[in-house]
Structure 1
């Protein structure tokens, strides 16, 4: 076996080890949370439960939905909670191939990406969900009782959690592009009209078909894009001076 083949095998073995650690963390969290799956689902469902009309409640239309839906929620929550471990394992695998200067930049970016992801999820739960689930029952046609299915609610929650979590990563993506020299802050600023249109299209695709959630996703994305440009420009100038 050549040195190149040995190096490839060692990288694959390390990658497998990193993936196993990430998956093991997720499984441990699932085992811890599974006994409380019902209670966890009730907490996540509070934004819709608190806005249902008196005498109405959520429904389960599937035969196994009362069991499977809270269980799926636990799995998804375990993945979300495990994000720092998952990102660290990716970082630990990639880090040996980076220069010292790149490592100094990468560490705060990684920490920021984790914080921003959780900030996006929290923004979705505490700000967006209450607004959406006040709006939706109010537009139900006369004679229609708004009683959301628990599985459909889970689909929307997961979609919005990841939509807002990933949307809040925009500054990180912009800073990386600027620091790597792929683009410049000036070019991004000039392309602002196209970015605005793109952001509203993405918000429309990622959120439920109501204007409130689309606007609530688009506005933070625009603000974070501008913040990313400013920070990228600042860090680029700082690195050039040093």
Structure 2
């Protein structure tokens, strides 16, 4: 294929991905009130609205995140179709197998952030107010706080799949990951501080899972790298 054909193929994949996103966005918006009710069902008080556009923004944000979640496997499959002609049959099978994992990891990251981390951090911050302050939540502030604390984990939980994929392609290896451990830890700490409220407890609650996730990714990289070496040795054997 020449450059024009490649660009035409890329355009086709982008259009399919965007069309899927719009479809999922419409479907999500049809059920957005049910999703909103699920997200606020544990609150004792109703959320306050400071402007007429607040609730519309929240509905769009909820529908948008839901649409992005379900578009991820579609986008990954379109990327796979785009690069498929340049891969060997073995590489095609291996890379295709990553697509369900990418979706599952993204869902797992959001679930971890929402069901485990978000209630702990919210409860801790509420306890700081105590009886000295009258607290109430606005729709905008509450959902911005929730989104900032959960969605990044959906992306960060993709770390094992990305590391396994890059290891399988030979771009990185376990030795390189081990040597860059200090730099990786520093990067994860910076990310944790940026996505959490400015308190030590929240930072620790985020840093520890991310470090464990990185070490888990390194272990998976070792397994993939070992299998890759075995496969290459078998192919070179007479």
TM-score of the pair, normalised by structure 1: 0.84
Change (3 A) 1:232 1:70: same
For 1:36-55, list aligned pairs within 5 A. 36-46=31-41, 49=43, 52=44
Residue 187 (1) aligns with residue 187 (2): no
Q: 1:34 to 1:109 in 2, by over 3 A?
A: closer
- Residue 18 of structure 1: aligned partner: 13
- The yes-or-no answer on 1:178 pairing with 2:173 is no
CA drift of 1:205 comes to 1.1
Asked whether the equivalents of residues 37 and 74 of structure 1 are also in contact (C-alpha less than 8 Å), the reply is: yes
How many correspondences in the alignment?
Answer: 231
Aligned-residue Cα RMSD (Å) equals 2.2
TM, length-normalised to structure 2 = 0.85
Can you list the C-alpha shifts for 1:129-187, whole angstroms capped at 9, x where unaligned? 21122112111265422212212222223223321111111112322343343443123
Give distance in 1, aligned partners of 2:11 and 2:205.
39
List alignment gaps of at least 5 residues for structure 2. Answer: 232-238
Task: Please name the residue that 2:88 is paired with.
Answer: 99
| SS of match in other structure, 1:82 | helix
Give the conservation status (yes or no) of the 8 Å contact 1:175–1:232: yes
Paired residues of 2:69 and 2:106 also in contact (CA < 8 A): no
The residue aligned with 2:146 is 157
1:74 aligns to 2:69 (yes or no): no
Contact 1:120 1:164 in 2 (8 A): yes
**Corresponding position: 1:28 with 2:23:** yes
Gaps of 5+ in 1: none
Equivalence map 1:87-166=2 (5 Å): 87-140=76-129, 142-166=131-155
Counterpart secondary structure, 2:129: coil
- Please name the residue that 1:232 is paired with: 221
Separation (CA, whole Å) in 2 of partners of 1:100 and 1:190? 32
Which of 1 and 2 has higher RCO (CA within 8 Å, sep 6+)? 1
